[in-house]
Structure 1
Amino acid sequence: MAYITNAAPALAGRASIIISVYNVAPYLAQCLESAANQDYVEVEIIAVDDGSTDSSRAVLGDFAASHRNVTVVSTPNQGPSAARNTGLRLAKGEYVLFLDGDDYIEKNTVSLCVEKMKDHGVDIVFFAARSFCDGMTTPPTGEFNYERLPELTGKPMLAEQFFILSRKYHNYLPSPCLYVYRRDRFAGITFYPGILHEDNLFTTRLLLERRDAKVYCLPDRLFNRRLRPDSIMTQKKQPRHVEGYMEVALELSRLDVAREKSETGKSLNHFIQNMIRSGLAQWWIAYPPMLPLAQRKRLLRVLSRVNPRYIKPVCILICLFPELLLVGHRLKGALRREAYE
């Protein structure tokens, strides 16, 4: 399942900040400055322009001209997964942090995470984030709370334990922009190209394919996520949103742990089913008026691969009859309207 494996050997002490860029010119300078102004000395910045059609490439070029530690790469538009994989292939740092071109990080993000890695002998340091609206008066529909719960912070633990507890407390935040990790420890694990919601797959693989890895979680809000119109998070749902969730579920079902009789296997199985539900929750917007047969078959393929003891009956039901979710959605809407009348 490794999509790019020819990474360069890591240079001890250096941190690689990989920035994926696509049509974010108005916000890009703030992002680049936050990476360049880290109080950690050994930082390389790899900015991958994913075929932008605005002035993002020019902004990157001007910034690289005045910063010796910045590398800019331009590629045809292939999506954030391919851009991050390109950055991983070029990275030379011992530590990796991902950043999107419309967001920014705090000045001590890298130094604090590296300090905790060394103090506690861990391989990943997670942290919290602040979200803010830009260009919209109210937050978009969805969950944009990036706080870390006390049950997860302040103590080192095994990667699989962190996954289980994060899921148990409904605080699993899989964005790759919310942690720093040791590159050599997770060599061979890269992003699945060409899909949305790839974060759910990448981060889960980090935690469950290197189950003996150690993690530490900080409560500090070191990342700033910009909620803006027409971003992947806020745009109207399309077929690729549904397909992304389905592909993530299918890829996760291929992990060995998905068939285990264990607490980790149970937690992963439930997460896979959540991916299915997340995809199906939007299908009537993306595929009016009916979910295609190919997608229904994909759902059943996922369920055939996981441990049947952990499959929830409701998941089987909505896979066979996804129209039930639409009925439930309309019923809730009717009840809500009736309550206001």
Structure 2
Amino acid sequence: MKPVVTIIIAAFNAQEYLPGCLNSVLKQTFTDYEVIVVDDGSCDGSAAILQKYTARFQQISVLTSANGGPGAARNIGLDHARGDYILFLDADDKLKPLCLETCVGQMRAHQLDLLFFSTQLHYFSPLLKSMGLAAYYQYPQALHGRVLSAEQMYQECLEALEKQGHGYPVVVWGYMFDRLKYQTKRFRQRIYEDELFTTDMLLSAPLARVKVLKTRLHIHSIHPGSLTTSRITLTNISEQVSVLAALLPLADKLDNPVTLNCLRYNLKWLVLNLLAKNKLLDSGRLAPQELIQLLLDRWHASESAGPGPVSGGLMREIIAIIAPDGGL
């Protein structure tokens, strides 16, 4: 029989965290699940740890791949998933014992396509706690406990982001979703992959039924090796440009002007974040014309049918943000 839930864990050199992660899954009060761990080319002791768990627990299976990043690893997990519902879990994070029971109960009771929940942050040092990261992971309070459409959720999250600087955490480990409803969805970026995946989930099926829980069902680790705390490199810049280029075509499929305006602000926020990261580069900082050319190249590559008129207008707005004086 197929399981109710498939938990997909992308693991790369995670020997320090894997036992805690897997043990948190094994402590779930809801037990009708499978765990697919994708070892993303680890070169530490992760494989040996995973072998011990698969020998003891039949619901855990391991797939291996060459290192391609968490998005590519999750795609492999999606290709093999059998559950009615999908839950992503990072190898350095944990689930609270009632996570699956609560999520499955909510999905069934409200006939949901997506269920978002809150997380508890675990900091590995006082310095990391002082970085002020907590606000990013908070959904707007007005959403808590409501059943609404995916498009409504996107609108309210982006309105909150514009007003208070946070309110749209796109992290893919922060929700459960119906596998068949989103069976064609796959990750396309190596890093910052959540930005496109989550936004596409919400906008590609605008009438999907969504609920947001205030309950903290997950524990997210903030440690020196996290993406949010790591040093900015040219790879970060390049991947964030790819996210922008991939988000732009969504604009040509939107009928609702409110949603389009929200996507406009979403893109503006990402561009400003990109420019701030570019300034932090130790070396190899990209000039405005280099950023624009890179973005144009990626955008044209992502538009298989050619750039649309709406996305073209947004591209011009983005260029104006990158080079406000027009001095290219």
TM-score range, shorter chain: 0.7 to 0.9
TM value normalised by structure 1: 0.84
Please tell me the residue identity of whatever aligns with 1:279: L
In the TM superposition, residue 135 of structure 1 has moved relative to its aligned partner by 4.9
Question: Alpha carbon RMSD of aligned pairs, Å?
Answer: 2.7
Matched, 1:148 2:151: no
TM-score by length of 2: 0.87
Worse-matched range after superposition: 247-256 or 178-187: 247-256
Asked whether 1:281 is paired with 2:283, we answer no
Secondary structure at the aligned position of 2:196 is classed as helix
Aligned to 2:233: 238
- Distance, in Å, in 2 between the alignment partners of 1:147 and 1:159 is 17
Residue 323 of structure 2 corresponds to which residue in structure 1? 320
Q: Deviations over 1:252-280 (max 9, x none)?
A: 11125566561111111211222222111
- Given candidates 262, 287, 291, the residue that maps to 1:295 is 291
Judge conservation of contact 1:44–1:70 (CA < 8 Å) in 2.
Answer: yes
Structure 1 position 126, deviation (Å): 0.2
Alignment check: 8 A CA contact 1:259 1:306 kept: no
User: In the alignment, what sits opposite 1:264?
Assistant: 259
Asked if the contact 1:259–1:307 (Cα under 8 Å) also holds between the matched residues in 2, the reply is: no
- Which stretch shifts more, 148-157 or 97-106? 148-157
How far is the alpha carbon of 1:34 from its aligned partner?
Answer: 1.0
2:194 to 199, 203, 214: 199
Map of 1:113 onto structure 2: 103
1:98 matched to 2:93? The reply is no
SS in structure 2 at match of 1:196? coil
CA displacement 1:228-255 (0-9 Å, x = unmatched): 1122221100111111221111111112
Match of 2:30 in 1: 40
Instruction: Identify the residue that residue 304 of structure 2 maps to in structure 1.
Output: none
State the secondary structure of the residue aligned to 2:229.
Answer: coil
Which ranges in structure 2 are unaligned for 5 or more consecutive residues? 162-166, 301-306
Partners of 1:298 and 1:22 in 2: CA distance: 29
The runs of 4+ residues in structure 1 deviating greater than 6 Å are none
Residue identity opposite 1:123 in structure 2: D
Q: Secondary structure at the match of 2:18?
A: helix
Instruction: Work out the CA distance in 1 between the residues paired with 2:325 and 2:120.
Output: 35
Q: 2:72 maps to which residue?
A: 82
Q: CA deviation at 1:317?
A: 3.6
Count of residue correspondences = 313
Structure 1 gap segments, 5+ residues each: 1-9, 325-341
The residue that corresponds to 2:150 in the other structure is: 159
Aligned equivalent of 1:184: 180
